[in-house]
């Protein structure tokens, strides 16, 4: 299995703080890789460093075999990486439609959106069709998250980075989201998912990497970690089965 994204010894500083201390991570093609770890372990920083939103101070990041560290964010996005930040990054003053037109780089206006693909997105997230011409700021938290994911998939991308999509959402909404991401997974979309909700992580993850203190401290199959409570205790300080 080829790795779409490979991080080797990545260090990141934010101001005076040394956040990532040599992250090694590979994201295999066509799989969902889940990044677990407690708060402050460096998961979000890892995603932002991949996107070029933070500069890696050391180490290398390769996307489809080509080095991307040090490149500007738009360049990295254009290579085929979509990013759904923890804050969702919805343009609240713009309509749902305008948010989608922005995400589809090839479309100059709504009429140029790929109709078939849009219908597929609407199938995953029916609320977006309903609120198509509404300002995105008026959507509920769950609907905003769906819009954020929809933006990432409105055009085919080689890799999608999703940062804690379940954060602050009601359990029933999380179920919807898991359903939609499962469908993406079934289409062999490569996803790097940061997630604290273990139910979601287990439902979606093929492989898992656990971070602690700015490093990846465990790599393996999701199923393996899900069954090994002792390993969960050791890596995450809690039993994931009991946690949910």
In whole angstroms, give the CA distance from residue 117 to residue 126: 13
Q: Residue written as tokens 């919807």?
A: 176
- At closest approach, how far in Å is the CB of 83 from another protein? 5
* Nearer CB in complex with another protein: 35/235: 35
198 touches another protein (CB under 8 A): no
* Nearer CB in complex with another protein: 144/185: 144
Pairing of strands 32-36, 3-14: unpaired
- At closest approach, how far in Å is the CB of 141 from another protein? 13
Closest listed residue to residue 112, CA positions, set 127, 123, 122, 97:
97
Per-residue tokens: 92: 């609240």
Binding mask 109-128 for another protein (x = CB under 8 A): x-------------------
Per-residue tokens: 158: 């080689």
* Nearer CB in complex with another protein: 139/193: 139
Per-residue tokens: 34: 């889940």
* Nearer CB in complex with another protein: 8/94: 94
**Interface residue with another protein, options 130, 182, 234, 243 (CB under 8 A):** 130
Within 13 Å of residue 193, how many CA atoms lie on the same side as its CB? 31
102 touches another protein (CB under 8 A): yes
Q: Residue written as tokens 């790097």?
A: 192
**Interface residue with another protein, options 18, 58, 105, 129 (CB under 8 A):** 105
In whole angstroms, give the CA distance from residue 84 to residue 67: 22
User: Binding to another protein (CB under 8 A): which residues in 51-80?
Assistant: 51, 53, 72-74, 77-78
Q: By three-state DSSP, how is residue 199 classified?
A: helix
Strand partners, 161: 83, 192
How many residues form the binding site for another protein (CB under 8 A)? 32
* Nearer CB in complex with another protein: 8/53: 53
85 touches another protein (CB under 8 A): yes
- At closest approach, how far in Å is the CB of 53 from another protein? 6
Closest listed residue to residue 28, CA positions, set 191, 181, 149:
191
In whole angstroms, give the CA distance from residue 25 to residue 7: 5
* Nearer CB in complex with another protein: 83/198: 83
**Interface residue with another protein, options 1, 2, 18, 89 (CB under 8 A):** 89
- At closest approach, how far in Å is the CB of 127 from another protein? 9
Kindly write down the DSSP assignment for every residue of 206-239, as one continuous string. SEEEEEETTEEEEEEEHHHHHH-HHHHHHHHSS-
Contact residues for another protein, defined by CB under 8 A: 51, 53, 72-74, 77-78, 83, 85, 89, 91-95, 98, 101-103, 105, 107-109, 130-131, 133-135, 137-139, 151
């Amino acid at each position: 299995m080829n790795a779409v994204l490979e991080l080797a010894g990545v260090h990141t500083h934010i101001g005076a703080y040394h956040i990532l201390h040599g992250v090694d991570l590979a994201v295999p093609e066509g799989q969902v890789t889940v990044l677990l770890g407690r708060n402050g372990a460096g998961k979000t920083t890892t995603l932002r460093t991949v996107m070029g939103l933070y500069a890696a101070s050391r180490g290398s990041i390769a996307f489809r075999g080509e080095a991307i560290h040090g490149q500007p964010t738009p360049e990295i996005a254009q290579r085929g990486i979509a990013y759904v930040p923890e804050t969702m990054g919805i343009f609240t003053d713009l309509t749902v439609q305008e948010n989608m037109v922005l995400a589809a780089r090839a479309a100059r206006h709504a009429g140029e959106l790929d109709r078939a693909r849009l219908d597929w997105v609407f199938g995953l997230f029916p609320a977006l069709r309903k609120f198509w011409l509404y300002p995105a700021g008026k959507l509920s938290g769950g609907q905003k998250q769906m819009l954020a994911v929809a933006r990432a998939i409105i055009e085919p991308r080689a890799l999608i980075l999703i940062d804690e999509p379940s954060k602050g959402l009601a359990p029933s909404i999380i179920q919807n989201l898991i359903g939609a991401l499962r469908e993406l997974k079934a289409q062999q979309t490569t996803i790097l998912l940061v997630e604290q909700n273990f139910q979601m992580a287990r439902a979606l993850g093929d492989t898992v990497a656990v971070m602690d203190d700015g490093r990846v401290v465990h790599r393996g199959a999701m199923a393996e970690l899900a069954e090994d409570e002792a390993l969960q205790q050791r890596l995450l300080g809690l039993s994931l089965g009991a946690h949910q």
